[in-house]
Homo-oligomer: A and B are copies of this chain.
Amino acid sequence: MIDSKLNELLDRFEHGDTRALARLITLVENRAAEVSTVMERIYAKTGRAYIIGVTGAPGAGKSTLVNQFIVKYRAQGKIVAVLAIDPSSPFSGGAVLGDRIRMTDHYRDTGVYIRSLSTRGHHGGLSRAAREIVKLLDAFGYGVIIIETVGVGQTELSVMDLANTTVVVTVPEGGDGVQVMKAGLNEIADLFVVNKADRDGADRIKAELELNVHLRPSEGWRPPVLLTQASTGVGIDGLITAIKRHEEYRHEHRDPAREREQRAHEFAEVLTIEMEERTARALKNGATSAQAVMNEVRQGVLNPYSAARRIIEDRRAVAELLGQTDAAREAE
């Protein structure tokens, strides 16, 4: 993309054009070379949204719950964005028709933005993309951002790191409490919800989860366990209040040293990803200095590990792969 076009897109984004937002999200999804420039430009405007993660097994009623969140936060006058990273979510198009029709309620509301992120074809890049899309939504001005993801799988779990409050949704059925523990969801939960609480066993799973919480070391936030029936709205107000309470708790327990470390951590991640992506793009575009080595690998006469070492120790090759500018080269 030419700089002037990108600038125009960013201008439109800053003036609240949701189509510009959508295009920028697509750039992030496609891992375009412009992502870094986009992030530099919008970064100062991030940090204002409250980010809620909703996770749990397929069929737990996550999407219905998210639907209720939208209604409640809209009633509070907040504008809401949903990022659905879940193959079975109606938001991401994987659901039965009934669900999807229900969701279209919100499509007419300009205060609601819904975007799905496919889990396919994102080998390793999903959590990066999710983080940057959340930044875009945040900078755009959404007050509440809800990330919905199925609570299985490493990447899907790591996406929850982005949330300020993580809600783990369970149902009374067959050993769901045990599944939650197994999948490590209990470790990331700030709040537990037992949805479909009119069914048998709701109290039992609630007790199980509470016992688990009780067995934790006593300092810090203790995740409450709430009963809801998302489809009828029972328990939703209590859930919204509990989220608010967690938000306040976080605010009261702000730890500047920890925040500095989080920033350093994010930087390390951005730096390594940026190096990786620049290198991958340069190789794809036929970086000349790596060709000889790459051909040996292709023929099977050089193993990829020795090849990588050879490239990394060749400063000229690295400079080309990372796209270091001539200015930087001359300054050397």
> A residues touching B (Cβ–Cβ < 8 Å)?
36, 39-40, 43-44, 58, 87-88, 94, 119-120, 122-124, 126-127, 150, 152-156, 158, 179, 182-184, 259-261, 263-264, 266-276, 278-280, 283-284, 294, 297-300, 303-309, 311-316, 318-319, 322-325, 327-329, 332
Contact = CB atoms under 8 A, between A and B. Distances in A.
| Stoichiometry (number of copies) | 2
Contact of A123 (B43, B154, B299): B154
A64 to B, nearest CB: 18
A322 B318 contact: yes
B39 A305 contact: yes
Interface centre among A276, A314, A332, by most chain B C-beta atoms within 10 angstroms, is A276
A36 B309 contact: yes
B328 A315 contact: yes
Contacts of A119: 153-154, 184
Contact of A322 (B123, B179, B263, B312): B312
26 contacts: A40-B305, A43-B305, A87-B183, A122-B154, A123-B154, A123-B158, A126-B154, A153-B153, A153-B156, A263-B304, A264-B297, A268-B284, A269-B304, A270-B304, A270-B305, A270-B307, A271-B279, A271-B308, A271-B311, A271-B312, A272-B275, A274-B308, A313-B328, A314-B328, A315-B315, A315-B328
A3 B322 CA distance: 31
A312 B324 contact: yes
Contacts of A280: 268, 272
A273 B280 CA distance: 10
Contact of A298 (B263, B269, B283, B318): B263
Contact of A312 (B44, B260, B275): B275
A263 to B, nearest CB: 5
Contacts of A39: 303, 305
A306 B306 CA distance: 32
A158 to B, nearest CB: 5
B298 A264 contact: yes
Nearest to A132: B305
A196 to B, nearest CB: 16
Ordered nearest first, which 10 A-B pairs have the shortest CB separation? A153-B153, A43-B303, A267-B304, A270-B304, A271-B308, A39-B305, A313-B328, A152-B152, A260-B298, A272-B276
A325 B318 CA distance: 13
